[in-house]
Chains A and B, each alone.
Chain A
């Protein structure tokens, strides 16, 4: 049976995160912390831990709770607040990968520190030439005594400059695009041979280029078998940013509607013009369609059936990126010049939507995958 209602636990989570965004995450504070060296507030991160949000989506036996729907509840609210804290990088990308790949000891040690808020982590997978190709790993790892040494370049590592632990993918055998032969490693960013170049991103967050030259790494899980783990990580991240985009779109739609009811030109509210009314109706439809798809298909992201999971994720990403494009561009256009400015919040929501469309597979990448899955 289909149920669109949230469970009591999900509702509690939703209430708590929405309350936080509303009361403790005003735009001017977000803007200020986004401009700091780390790009987020450590005080907020501590609060996230206390509220239990750093456990969402992680396994119950490690102190975690919830699956894709809980992640979606959190991410939608983070979208509303344009949250810059590294939840996606640290908990979903790094934490989720550890949970799926790590040994019992590794999970206990790493996830414990993550959930407690003592550690910020990042997932270093993408490379300068990989675009959205998950198997394109050229970074290499070679055995050296008891451990491994890594060489290569990891690109646009989200929050890579704030992390005290890196989860790095590297090739232990095979060629650049082989699915076999990819392994995961735990790397200390302060170790010799690791160069982290952090920078701000166009959506108010931060990322880093990470260069490894003979850097020491500890194997996470089984050698050569990380492809399916990474693929699931990327799928879950894609679904999560779709939920985030629902939050972003809902704010933009509300701001545009509100503006159209206050801004006057030609002696009337601009919302009285039918040409603009139709476009706001389209923006509303775009968001509501995306929300429906997410409500029904988000649970499939937890499916053990690989094809079912991937169909759901690709459908979501295509729909939400298309809707995000329409809502983002129209919100700016309907506001006019004011939404072009850095001072006005809408521009920041538009920018985040524009970057989401280039993360974890773009529309064409997901359309191709969907076509392959359904042929």
Chain B
């Protein structure tokens, strides 16, 4: 176990380093410096600015400067908003995004699992068909369209929820639901198929023969095994929620990390793009790692050190 964790941590570092390297050289492959655009600066000011951001150094030197600052968790300054650093942006944006992400993941997991279980219990019945049609629609409708529909109906026409921004729990409902529909549909489908498989096993039959109620069988026996596949895709779902939050935050004008990332892209603010990308990637890799470990603990059939062969 300890050896496996150590191996995985090492692999994570390698992956992260590769991401940093790719991101860095991609960003520096773009011709021109961030300062030779609309601003009218004199030659001297230009040179001073470039020197301040180490832009006058060879690319490789810049690369090592960047790696060094990353090692101390310093993502560097923003070029376009010179008063704020990328660290400050992450510090301000991440709690908001995390709140939104956790909320929608919770919605997705809870409602997806419930939907999937009911569909499996009524396999090939009406509830099954309704739930699964619902799920396919959930997968098919992109979240930005779902968000707009929700705003149009629930916020503009019926005025139940506020249209945008992020201040009270009521403000959180629509964006969280819009972000949750896709993952919810995926979870519902997965839960259903693994639940059907589990319900057909002998030990469930035994439980039924003992006279247990359906409720007890599902909660006590079936769910444990049926939810294992759901845990495996949780890592991927976190990635989906995270990228999905870019558009959701844009639509609902939520001051999260996605906003800074998108603004960074629109402004071509390279340190911001690099910093947020590296942060997102590190976060995602961390989540995948946690999911893997959790899976190994929850499923005794899996021996951690043997995985991947």
The reply to whether chain A is a binding partner of chain B is no
A residues engaging B (CB < 8 A)? none
B residues engaging A (CB < 8 A)? none
